[in-house]
């Protein structure tokens, strides 16, 4: 979680998009939701600063006065509500080995590249960010996020667009990396002139019906981690014999 929250604004945004699109079943999701329930001592479906600090102090030996925990909490709590819901918790805890593998990045890039032009302009990214984050952030917060993202993208591309090579570079690095930057340009040259895809994912055509519709992504409800529990109680109340 510390690693994810220290990334650039654009990378954190894409990681949240990817976390919302990847399947919610499996061992990782079960582990994350179990951890959330353990920290949520009052069972209200959200985590307060006090619950997070007490939980980490109890389970990880962290001090309640640890400034690192306050900073971590503020980074996860994007809307500055003073609480963390399960969607924020899941996005912050998704391991990058899963969320930044090349096939996933190819799907993510194609979700941004709606017109299949092989590039995405900054204005389109700005629009998508505002559409997805608008319900979570105030107008001033949203403007600040979009301004920071434009600045970050501008440090990688100077023509107002990013291509897949630049997208991979951004998502694969937490800070400027000279060799990866050189490799990015070499990979683009090989693809454009020789049709050689060093990433070995461009052959994975993404059909329109299979594309991620990221603008339709709905935040996971704050009580979603309790869906199995509530469903089980409902079944048991309606069918008492099934409880045994």
Encode pLDDT of 97-135 as tens digits: 888 999 999 999 999 998 889 999 999 999 999 998 887
Task: Give residue 237's pLDDT.
Answer: 47
Q: In the Cβ-directed half-sphere of 72, how many Cα atoms lie within 13 Å?
A: 19
pLDDT > 60? residue 232:
no
Task: Give residue 220's pLDDT.
Answer: 47
* Positions of CATH 1.10.238.10 in the chain: 23-93
% of the chain exceeding 90 in pLDDT: 40
Cα distance between residue 126 and residue 145, in whole Å: 9
Cα torsion for 61, 65, 68, 69, to the nearest 10°?
A: 70
Contact 59, 38 (CB under 8 A): yes
pLDDT > 90? residue 238:
no
Looking at the DSSP assignment, which residues form a beta bridge with residue 163? 119
Task: Give residue 30's pLDDT.
Answer: 79
Which residue has 């919302």 as its token pair? 20
pTM beyond 0.85: no
State how far the alpha carbon of 105 is from the alpha carbons of 15, 39, 102, in Å.
Answer: 10, 31, 5
pLDDT > 60? residue 217:
no
Taking only the tens place, the pLDDT of each residue in 2-53 is: 888 889 999 999 998 998 887 766 677 778 888 888 888 888 888 888 887 7
Task: Give residue 228's pLDDT.
Answer: 45
Domain 23-93 superfamily per CATH: EF-hand (1.10.238.10)
pLDDT > 60? residue 214:
yes
Cα distance between residue 14 and residue 162, in whole Å: 14
Give backbone dihedrals phi and psi of 83, rounded to 5 degrees, phi first. -140, 160
């Amino acid at each position: 979680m510390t690693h994810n929250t220290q990334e650039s604004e654009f990378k954190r945004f894409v990681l949240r998009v990817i976390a919302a699109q990847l399947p919610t079943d499996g061992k990782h999701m079960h582990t994350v939701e179990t951890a959330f329930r353990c920290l949520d001592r009052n069972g209200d479906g959200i985590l307060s600063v006090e619950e997070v600090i007490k939980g980490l102090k109890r389970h990880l030996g962290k001090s309640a006065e640890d400034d690192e925990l306050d900073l971590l909490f503020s980074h996860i709590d994007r809307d500055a509500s003073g609480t963390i819901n399960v969607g924020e918790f899941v996005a912050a805890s998704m391991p990058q080995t899963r969320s930044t593998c090349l096939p996933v990045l190819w799907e993510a890039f194609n979700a941004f590249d709606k017109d299949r032009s092989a590039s995405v302009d900054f204005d389109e990214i700005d629009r998508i960010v505002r559409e997805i984050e608008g319900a979570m952030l105030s107008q001033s917060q949203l403007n600040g996020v979009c301004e920071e993202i434009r600045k970050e993208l501008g440090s990688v591309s100077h023509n107002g667009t990013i291509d897949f090579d630049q997208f991979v570079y951004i998502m694969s690095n937490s800070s400027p990396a000279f060799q990866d930057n050189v490799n990015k340009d070499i990979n683009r040259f090989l693809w454009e002139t020789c049709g050689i895809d060093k990433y070995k994912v461009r052959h994975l055509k993404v059909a329109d019906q299979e594309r991620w519709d990221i603008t339709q992504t709905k935040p996971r409800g704050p009580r979603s981690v309790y869906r199995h529990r509530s469903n089980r109680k409902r079944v048991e109340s309606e069918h008492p014999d099934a409880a045994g």
